[in-house]
Structure 1
Amino acid sequence: MKKFYALLVWCVMSIAISYAQEVPMTKLQIETFNKEVSNKNKEIKTIDTDFIQYKNISFMSKEIESKGKMLLSIPNKLLWKYNSPIAYSVLFNNQKISINDQGKKNNIDLGNNKKFAKINNLIVSSVSGQMFDEKEFSIRYFMDKKRRIAKMKPINKEISQYISEIVLYFDEGQNTVSEVKLIEPSADYTRIVFVNKKLNTKIDEKSFSN
């Protein structure tokens, strides 16, 4: 009887592991995936979505959870607006970054800072899924039962000082990003899950204010 229960447990665990396991894509699957995402990205003009952010720091026992709204207007306007646990927003608009930390504002001119400009382009591209550039990233492709996954390591040394890997998740049947994971060299990471996403809706220009 003990052997039977042991076998049963092993079978259940094997099924659970195989269900969650990431499998590398074949060359044909990668080509098809890239084409589908590229075609979808050509259609995207705006994204309006809520998000939940999970920050994992090694010395903390629980993830830090934040919630807010993200607005994107291709090619160069991006607003992250955190509503909880505190009010905080970051606006990327053309060649400028504006930060509003509970009323305290700070501005950065990207035209004078190539490093921040690269990070800005990285963020915009990751949210929209326009990142499959093998000149900028070493890319590996995977899939599981529900999602297609692109794992990208920045080749640029300046970027890799801040981000060691970017993981993009695409839900089955969709060719837009549903989740982004930014992994730091320390192995700490930020995971952003998009919910209630709306594509190509009209966004009032006044919304991109900080």
Structure 2
Amino acid sequence: MRILSLLLFFFSLNLAAQQELSKKEVAQFQEKMTAKANELETLQANFMQTKSMEMIANETVSRGKIYYQNPGKLKWKYTEPQDYIILFIEGKLHINDAGDKSVRNTASSKLFGKIANLIIGSVNGKLLQDNENFDISYFKENDNIIAVIIPKDEHLSQMFSEIQMQFNTENLVEKVSLIEESGDATVIEFSEIQWNKDIPSSVFQP
């Protein structure tokens, strides 16, 4: 399912080369992330998504733009290799596949609702506050902080065995990785991140 590739994702990081944060460091980082998430009104960035599959040698690379507006508007606009738009807004998932539009109600599907929360939480950083649905460990790699997230939810864990979020020195998400049981992996890397800049309302029109 195309939306599942959305997030972000994989290639296992070498945890042996990383240093696990102490409880004090985790508390300090979580405090900074909570403050950062509370300050976030809008976010927009370019992204490159790389999908690798266990049984296929070649990787698939997609590019596009992401837009987020607090509290729950999120748009992924793929421009390469083809036009494809995914828009979460007001409890609905709007898909525009090169002009072919469809709508799904996330409120009527617990699974789609959880996927929507997972995607939005990955963008605004609030996923790190969801201890009910995820076990989270923190590591330091050079100047970056990496959160390794294991889903507790049965349905999510069947799709993603592990989620990794990499934060830069400004506590912004630079990369999200989603690792599947099969070994397939998708990595989404963000660039030219703009924080709390005005986004035209037309961007979130279905």
Q: By the TM > 0.5 criterion, same fold?
A: yes
Letter of the structure 2 residue corresponding to residue 188 of structure 1 = D
| Among candidates 175, 185, 188, match of residue 189 of structure 1 | 185
For residue 206 of structure 1, what is the aligned residue in structure 2?
202
Do structure 1's residue 93 and structure 2's residue 89 form an aligned pair?
Answer: yes
Aligned to 1:207, what secondary structure does the other structure show?
A: helix
C-alpha separation between the residues in 2 aligned to 1:117 and 1:202?
27
> 1:149 deviation in Å?
0.4
For residue 45 of structure 1, what is the aligned residue in structure 2?
41
When the two structures are aligned, how many residues end up with a matched partner? 191
Do structure 1's residue 163 and structure 2's residue 157 form an aligned pair?
Answer: no
Letter of the structure 2 residue corresponding to residue 169 of structure 1 = Q
- What are the superposed Cα offsets for residues 177-197 of structure 1, whole Å, 9 maximum, x if unpaired? 111001112121111000000
| Among candidates 143, 147, 155, match of residue 146 of structure 1 | 143
C-alpha separation between the residues in 1 aligned to 2:127 and 2:108?
24
Do structure 1's residue 55 and structure 2's residue 59 form an aligned pair?
Answer: no
C-alpha separation between the residues in 2 aligned to 1:28 and 1:130?
20
For residue 127 of structure 1, what is the aligned residue in structure 2?
123
> 1:76 deviation in Å?
1.2
- What are the superposed Cα offsets for residues 6-32 of structure 1, whole Å, 9 maximum, x if unpaired? xxxxxxxxxxxx9x9211111111111
Aligned to 2:111, what secondary structure does the other structure show?
A: helix
Letter of the structure 2 residue corresponding to residue 198 of structure 1 = Q
Aligned-pair RMSD on alpha carbons? 1.4
- What are the superposed Cα offsets for residues 10-61 of structure 1, whole Å, 9 maximum, x if unpaired? xxxxxxxx9x921111111111111111111110011011101111111221
For residue 5 of structure 1, what is the aligned residue in structure 2?
none
Letter of the structure 2 residue corresponding to residue 136 of structure 1 = N
Q: TM-score, normalised by structure 2?
A: 0.89
Structure 1: state its 5+ residue gaps: 1-17
Aligned to 1:28, what secondary structure does the other structure show?
A: helix
- What are the superposed Cα offsets for residues 142-184 of structure 1, whole Å, 9 maximum, x if unpaired? 011131000001111111121111100001x211211100111
Do structure 1's residue 65 and structure 2's residue 74 form an aligned pair?
Answer: no
Q: TM-score, normalised by structure 1?
A: 0.87
Structure with higher Rg: it is 1
Letter of the structure 2 residue corresponding to residue 82 of structure 1 = Y
Letter of the structure 1 residue corresponding to residue 145 of structure 2 = R
Aligned to 2:30, what secondary structure does the other structure show?
A: helix
Structure 2: state its 5+ residue gaps: 1-13
C-alpha separation between the residues in 1 aligned to 2:171 and 2:35?
9
C-alpha separation between the residues in 1 aligned to 2:137 and 2:145?
11
Which structure shows the higher strand fraction? Answer: 2
C-alpha separation between the residues in 2 aligned to 1:188 and 1:182?
9
| Among candidates 107, 112, 124, match of residue 108 of structure 2 | 112
Moved over 3 A (4+): none
